C-alpha cells in the first residue's frame, strides 16, 4: 500500500536507526542545518526527479533501471489482495493503533485533516496544483496519509515482528522475480541490501527504504510529483553511512579541450533497446537517450561529466588513442556500463496528428499498470488527452488514429485496446523498440 499523503511539512524527510527513539521530520540525524537547506534548495529549485521545467529530460526512463522490467507482464497485479489489505488497515485497530501511528489513516476528500499537505505537479510552464482524484479510486494503492515518524513506526513494527510472523516476513522480502517480493522491492545499493517501496499519486511521491544490516529506515515524503524522493533517500543513506553526498549544485564545471570530446561522440548501448547518444553542438556536450529529449552534460574532468537537470553523471572509458570504448552512467546508486555501438540508429517514424471525436477519450481515461510499482494514468481535459507515468509530469498525447496516440516531447506512442463498447481494457506503450502492455486497474 503506497503512502501518498503527508501531514507535516511540504517536504518531509526522516532517517533513523532503530536504536534512536522517534524519527526526524524535515531533517536527518547527523546532518546540520546547512545540509538540510541544501536538500530543500534542490527541491524548490524545480528539480523533482531532474525534470525542472523540461518534462522530457529524465536521463534514464524507469524501465532501464532494470532492462528486464518489461518481462514482468506475467506478474499479476492482484488488486483484490490490495483491497483486502485496505479493509484491514481501514479498521485501524489492526495496525495503526497497535503501532501508535496516530497521524496515519485513510484519506478523505471531504474530511478536514489537520496539517494535510496540498499536492503539486510540474506543468508545461512550471509548478501547478495537482489534479483532483477521489480517494475511493486509488484505495489501498494510494489513499493512505502518513508522516515520516509514523512510517518509522511502521517499519519498526514490520521488521520487529509486531505485524507478521518471521516466516511470512521472509517470504515477503524474498525476491520472486526481477527483484520484486510480496509488495516490496529488494535490491543491493552500494553493497547493502535495500528493501523499499515508492509511492506515486496526483501531487505526491514518496520513498520508504529499510536496510536490514544496519536496522536503518529512510523515509522521504514530497508533495511535488517527481523522482526526487528516491534520489534524496539514496543520498540520506549515503550520509548515514558516513560517506559524502555531492549535489549537482556543488559540482564544478572545468574547461577541457573540446577536441577531447570528439573521442566520446557516438552511440552507447545501455540495454537491448536503449541507446545513449553523445553529441557535440557548438562547444556544448549533449546526451540523448532513446525516446527522450536532449540533456546537456558538463565536464568536471577530461573523462567525467555531469547533468544539471538530473542527478546523473557519465564517465567515459577510453583506449590509448582517447576514443571511448564505453561509458558508465552513475545514477540512482548504480553504475551502468554501456559499450560503444557502431553504425547509426534508425530515425524515428514521423507521426501526424489527426482530429478525432473527443468522446472517444472517455473510454480511455483511467489507470493502467505497467509494472508492480509503475503505472500510467490517462486523463482528459476538454478536447485534449494526457498521460502521466509514475514519478513523471503530465504530458499531452496526440491522436494519429482513433486508438493510436503519440507524444511530441519524446519518441513514444500509446495504443489503446478496447472492448466492444469502446472502453480500453489495456494500453500498449511503444518505446525504445519495445511494446509494453499495461492492463487497466480499477
Q: What is the CATH number of the domain that holds 365?
A: 2.40.128.50
236 and 287 housed in the same domain: no
Residue 218: inside a domain, yes or no?
A: yes
**What values do phi and psi take at 16, rounded to 5?**
-160, 140
Residues forming a β-bridge with 290: none
237 and 191 housed in the same domain: yes
Q: What is the pLDDT of residue 380?
A: 92
Q: What is the pLDDT of residue 88?
A: 54
* Pure H helices in 227-383: 228-240, 258-262
242 and 281 housed in the same domain: no
Identify the domain boundary among 198, 228, 249: 249
Residue 353: inside a domain, yes or no?
A: no
Residue 310: inside a domain, yes or no?
A: yes
Distance CA 426, CA 417 (A): 5
Contact 339/326 with Cβ under 8 angstroms? yes
188 and 66 housed in the same domain: yes
255 and 239 housed in the same domain: no
Residue (of 428, 441, 324) closest to 70 by Cα position: 428
239 and 272 housed in the same domain: no
Identify the domain boundary among 199, 228, 249: 249
pTM score over 0.85 = no
Which is it for strands 204-211 and 192-201: parallel, antiparallel or unpaired? Answer: antiparallel
Residue 327: inside a domain, yes or no?
A: yes
Please provide the distance, in angstroms rounded to a whole number, between the alpha carbons at the two ends of the chain: 15
Name residues of the chain where pLDDT drops below 50: 1-11, 17-80
Query: What distance separates the 2 farthest-apart alpha carbons in the chain?
Result: 68
225 and 291 housed in the same domain: no
Q: How far is CA 19 from CA 22, 57, 179, in A?
A: 9, 40, 28
Residue 224: inside a domain, yes or no?
A: yes
C-alpha 320 chain-centroid distance: 38
Q: Please state, as a whole number, how many other Cβ atoms lie within 10 Å of the Cβ of residue 253.
A: 11
Cell numbers of 95, please?
495496525
Give the domain range for residue 273.
Answer: 251-341
234 and 94 housed in the same domain: yes
315 and 393 housed in the same domain: no
Residue 346: inside a domain, yes or no?
A: no
Distance CA 80, CA 82 (A): 5
Q: What is the pLDDT of residue 2?
A: 42
User: Cell 482528459 sits at which residue?
Assistant: 380
Residue (of 78, 376, 27, 81) closest to 200 by Cα position: 376
The number of distinct structural domains making up the chain is: 3
Q: What is the pLDDT of residue 90?
A: 53
Residue 349: inside a domain, yes or no?
A: no
Identify the domain boundary among 204, 220, 249: 249
DSSP label at residue 54: -
Q: How far is CA 427 from CA 35, 197, 306, 397, 411, in A?
A: 43, 24, 35, 13, 16
Helices 33-44 & 228-240 angle (0-180, nearest 10): 160
Q: What is the pLDDT of residue 234?
A: 85
Distance CA 85, CA 164 (A): 13
38 and 145 housed in the same domain: yes
> What CATH number has the domain bearing residue 120?
3.40.710.10
Residue 424: inside a domain, yes or no?
A: yes
363 and 327 housed in the same domain: no
User: At 153, is the secondary structure helix, strand, or coil?
Assistant: helix
363 and 325 housed in the same domain: no
User: Cell 503506497 sits at which residue?
Assistant: 2
Amino acid at each position: 500500500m503506497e503512502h501518498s499523503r503527508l501531514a507535516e511539512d511540504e517536504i518531509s524527510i526522516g532517517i533513523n536507526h532503530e536504536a534512536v527513539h522517534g524519527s526526524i521530520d524535515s531533517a536527518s540525524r547527523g546532518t546540520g542545518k546547512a545540509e538540510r537547506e541544501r536538500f530543500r534548495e534542490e527541491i524548490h529549485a524545480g528539480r523533482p526527479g531532474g525534470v525542472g521545467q523540461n518534462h522530457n529530460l529524465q536521463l534514464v526512463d524507469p524501465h532501464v533501471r532494470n532492462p528486464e522490467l518489461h518481462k514482468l507482464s506475467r506478474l499479476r497485479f492482484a488488486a483484490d489482495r490490495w483491497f483486502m489489505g485496505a479493509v484491514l488497515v481501514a479498521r485501524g485497530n489492526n495496525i495503526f493503533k497497535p503501532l501508535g501511528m496516530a497521524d496515519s489513516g485513510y484519506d478523505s476528500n471531504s474530511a478536514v485533516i489537520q496539517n494535510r499537505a496540498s499536492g503539486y505537479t510540474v506543468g508545461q510552464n512550471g509548478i501547478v496544483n495537482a489534479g483532483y482524484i477521489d480517494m475511493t479510486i486509488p484505495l489501498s494503492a494510494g489513499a493512505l496519509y502518513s508522516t515520516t515518524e509514523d512510517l518509522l513506526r511502521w517499519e519498526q513494527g514490520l521488521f520487529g515482528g509486531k505485524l507478521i510472523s518471521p516466516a511470512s516476513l521472509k517470504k515477503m522480502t524474498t525476491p520472486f522475480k526481477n527483484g520484486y517480493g510480496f509488495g516490496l522491492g529488494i535490491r543491493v545499493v552500494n553493497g547493502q541490501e535495500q528493501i523499499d517501496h515508492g509511492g506515486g499519486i496526483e501531487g505526491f511521491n514518496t520513498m520508504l527504504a529499510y536496510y536490514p544490516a544496519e536496522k536503518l529506515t529512510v523515509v522521504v515524503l514530497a508533495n511535488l510529483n517527481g523522482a526526487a524522493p528516491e534520489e534524496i533517500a539514496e543520498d540520506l543513506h549515503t550520509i548515514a553511512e558516513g560517506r559524502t553526498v555531492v549535489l549537482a549544485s556543488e559540482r564544478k564545471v572545468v574547461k577541457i579541450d573540446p577536441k577531447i570530446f570528439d573521442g566520446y561522440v557516438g552511440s552507447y548501448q545501455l540495454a537491448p533497446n536503449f541507446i545513449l547518444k553523445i553529441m557535440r553542438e557548438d562547444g556544448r556536450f549533449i546526451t540523448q537517450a532513446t525516446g527522450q529529449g536532449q540533456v546537456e552534460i558538463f565536464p568536471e574532468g577530461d573523462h567525467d561529466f555531469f547533468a544539471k537537470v538530473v542527478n546523473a553523471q557519465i564517465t567515459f572509458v577510453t583506449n590509448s588513442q582517447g576514443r571511448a570504448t564505453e561509458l558508465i552512467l552513475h545514477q540512482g546508486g548504480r553504475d551502468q556500463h554501456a559499450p560503444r555501438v557502431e553504425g547509426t540508429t534508425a530515425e524515428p517514424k514521423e507521426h501526424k496528428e489527426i482530429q478525432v471525436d473527443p468522446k472517444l477519450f472517455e473510454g480511455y481515461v483511467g489507470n493502467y499498470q505497467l509494472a508492480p510499482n509503475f503505472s500510467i494514468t490517462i486523463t482528459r481535459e476538454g478536447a485534449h488527452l494526457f498521460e502521466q507515468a509514475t514519478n513523471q509530469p503530465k504530458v499531452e498525447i496526440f491522436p494519429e488514429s482513433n486508438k493510436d496516440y503519440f507524444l511530441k516531447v519524446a519518441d513514444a506512442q500509446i495504443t489503446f485496446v478496447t472492448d466492444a463498447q469502446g472502453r480500453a481494457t489495456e494500453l500498449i506503450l511503444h518505446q525504445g523498440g519495445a511494446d509494453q502492455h499495461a492492463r487497466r486497474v480499477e
